[in-house]
Structure 1
């Protein structure tokens, strides 16, 4: 399993779905790393790594915006969530 760093100097809201209107399930502290199990399109968000509609599934029912995760790509790096 590969882990990806969240943007330096940021905490990150983990949400129950791919958008900022979904409930916050927890907050990742600065320096966190996440595993990405799958990705799906959702709300477009601007962050340290650009503007994207890609959301990363980091656990069952938990999503973070890819704009805050250093994946090295502007596109999908994991399978689409089903």
Structure 2
């Protein structure tokens, strides 16, 4: 995940915390950022671009399988016709 997005999320969380709580807890933004990075690092995620590439590959593979199935059926018909 983009570090800038993590910083933005941490900042938004930090801004939503009342001042008294911020003072008590110290630098919450940095702590939230660290926890977010650790937890997001555990997730098995891909970028949108990677997903799009994989979808395109899958589509091409599906088209190739369909073509091979049609060719196989044609070969079977030819063999049946010869018999």
**TM-score by structure 2 length?**
0.18
**Greater Rg over alpha carbons, structure:** 2
Q: Which has the higher helix share?
A: 2
**TM-score by structure 1 length?**
0.18
